[in-house]
Structure 1
Amino acid sequence: MSDALLLLPDFLLIVCGFLLCRYSALDRPVWDAVERLVYYLLFPVLLFNSIVRSPLEIGETLPLAGAGLGIVATGIAAAYALRRWPGVDAKLHASGAQVAFRFNSYVALALAEKLGGAQGVAWTALLVALCVPLCNFAAVYPLARHGGHHFWREIVRNPLIVSTVAGLVANLLGIRFVDPVAPMLQRIGQAALPLGLMAVGAGLKLGGLWAGPGLAAGLLGIRHVLLPLTALALVWLLGVPAAQQPVVVAFAAMPTASSAYVLAMRMGGNGPYVAGLITLSTLLGMASIPLWLALLRQLW
């Protein structure tokens, strides 16, 4: 199956969410509740369970981990540098900077299974476990500084950070869940991907981008050009195993996180602007991921 067809089921779920939100009784208030359910319960459980069940073989995963952290660090540095551009609005930058380096974990985990099966999901879960805390730290900081929020309070209350740290601790301590707890956690986590993708579609909107189109171009250029190029360089420099390389490149080319909108709204940022960035990033990511994977196969 081609890379484009691998993404088709996930893209159709996004389209389904878009159509349901606009042309059925399942309108915006319904999807606001779905977003909160996914963000505060379903997705944290998915992250926690995936990390707990994934063996952390340091020797085999060190290049993979280094590549993931290098990709995110590059995105954070480049996004923060855009603050120095002439004419950049401070509130827009604080709200939108996260779009350049955060990634849509729903799409990442759904695609990982198609690229590498259960092992691909385990590798992506490791990347998520390592990079979600770093991404959320970097996303919260400018919003907290601009909006007068307490940075560390926002960090310890972030469900994605809490669940990933808890999953890593449980994994390192060798904690495993038995029936009926293990199947229950797995089923809760499985609900996160389809509902999360449909919620992405329900939130698609472009109008807010007109508040800062130049900044939007810079942020999306980082997300969809600079980071995949960084991934191609890092898989070669760090000697990432061939089976893991598509996972790394797909991770770098992901659309931005749909939860960026929730974070911006909750911390007093410019929600419509972030919603526009998420919409365009989702469309760009669905189109460009197959191209970056094809380029990887041409190069190596």
Structure 2
Amino acid sequence: MNYAQLLFPDFSLIACGWLLCRYTALDRRVWDQVESLVYYFLFPVLLFHSIVRSPIDFGATSNLLAAGLGVGLSGIALAYALPYLPGIGRHIDRREHAGSAQIAFRFNSFICLALADRLAGPQGLLLIAVLIGVCVPLMNVAAVWPMARHAQTGFLRQLVRNPLIIATASGLVVNLLGLGVPTWMEPTLTRIGAASLALGLMAAGAGMQFATLARGKVLAVSLLSIRHLILPLIGWGLARALRLDATQAAVLMAFAAVPTASSAYVLAARMGYNGPYVAGLVTMSTLLGIVSLPFALALPR
């Protein structure tokens, strides 16, 4: 499988946003409005549709769910612990950490879906849909918590007002109730999802400033190491410990090694944190995925 080719669309859209913002009349004034559109409408529709499109069978996928939650919770714990680690913590700015901790544990759902389809066809898509449906709410809550806590704006208030949390929670409820989206709405929702991905990545590129990464190198290296080295190793250990079959193990390893969520930039920027720094991390994570995905999928099972 050509991972560079798989990740090229994401990276090229980020590059397009960067070029348009800096060398055309489509400057920051335009992209601020794009970010709002993506954050308050396009991404929520995308998340809701991704979760409700496939029924969640908890019984058949209990071990995979346990492993996926283990990977996710490990990433959250490691990311949260960074400011308190001896030797590393004193080099980490607490505000920068609050806005960018999400890089370590969130995942790009679209790359997960594309990989699962190539690795295992319809069965792989169903398995990754279960992981997305269960893990996205957890990841979004974990992403919001340090930002709300650092800004002292009230965690519960941020949760109930956060459109990504509302969309994922309502999607889970609809899925578990056995409801679905009417067939005539599917094309519209699919096109909204495609627009959210493209515009979200371009907005990340428009806000990107690599110079900001130089001012937080220890934090950047730590977060990206968790995302692209430690979590794949944890996923490998859990796959062996829970004796996942070959298909489930492949899906889990892809889930553990994919680049971080492209919406991380939009969330950080909308909540008043250093968007350019997070955008740089999203771009670096997309590039590192070219290395981490073959590494993870090549681990013996």
Q: Report the TM-score when normalising by structure 1.
A: 0.87
Greater alpha carbon shift after TM alignment, 180-189 vs 157-166: 180-189
Distance (Å, rounded) in 2 between the aligned partners of 1:259 and 1:49: 16
Q: Distance in 1 between matches of 2:40 and 2:290?
A: 26
In 2, the alpha carbon distance for the partners of 1:60 and 1:125 equals: 13
Matched, 1:149 2:153: yes
Query: Is 2:99 the partner of 1:128?
Result: no
Inter-CA distance 133–83: structure 2 relative to 1 (3 Å threshold): same
Aligned match of 1:79: 79
The answer to whether the 8 A contact 1:40-1:159 is kept is yes
Letter of the structure 1 residue corresponding to residue 138 of structure 2? L
Say yes or no: does 1:89 pair with 2:89: no
Output the CA distance in 2 between the equivalents of 1:111 and 1:53.
18
Distance, in Å, in 2 between the alignment partners of 1:167 and 1:33 is 26
Matched, 1:170 2:174: yes
Instruction: Count matched residues.
Output: 297
Structure 1: where are the runs of 5+ without partners? none
Trace 1:186-197 onto structure 2 (pairs within 5 A).
186-197=190-201
Give 1:265 deviation, angstroms.
3.0
Contact persistence 1:250–1:289 (CA under 8 A): yes
Contact between 2:204 and 2:279, CA under 8 Å: does it hold in 1? no
Residue 36 (structure 2) pairs with residue 36 (structure 1):
yes
Q: Is the 8 A contact 1:69 1:131 kept in 2?
A: yes
Question: 1: CA distance between counterparts of 2:205 and 2:43?
Answer: 17
Cα distance in 2 for residues equivalent to 1:8 and 1:128: 22
The AA in structure 2 aligned to 1:148 is Q
Change beyond 3 A, Cα 1:267–1:42 = closer
Secondary structure of 2:61's partner? helix
Provide the rounded CA distance (Å) in 1 between the counterparts of 2:295 and 2:165.
Answer: 31
In 2 relative to 1, CA 124–278 (structure 1 residues): closer, same or farther, beyond 3 Å?
Answer: same
Distance 1:273 1:182, change over 3 A: closer
Partner of 1:2: 2
How high is the sequence identity, in percent, across the aligned residues? 58
TM-superposed deviation, 1:68 = 1.4
Within 5 Å, which residues of 2 pair with 1:249-288? 249-288=253-292
TM-aligned CA deviation for residue 179 of structure 1: 4.2
Distance 1:187 1:54 in 2: 18
Q: Shift in Å at residue 169 of structure 1?
A: 1.1
Q: Which of 208, 211, 225 is matched with 1:221 structurally? A: 225
Distance 2:32 2:290 in 1: 23
Are positions 1:232 and 2:236 aligned together? yes
Q: Which moved more, 1:203-212 or 1:166-175?
A: 203-212
Deviations 1:53-73 (A, max 9, x none): 212122222122112111111
Structure 2 spans left out of the alignment, 5+ residues: none
Q: Root-mean-square deviation (CA), in Å?
A: 2.4
Separation in structure 2 between the aligned mates of residue 264 and residue 279 of structure 1, nearest angstrom: 15
Tell me, yes or no, if the aligned pair for 1:51 and 1:129 is still in contact at 8 Å. Answer: yes
- The answer on 1:210 being equivalent to 2:187 is no
* TM-score, scaled relative to structure 2: 0.87
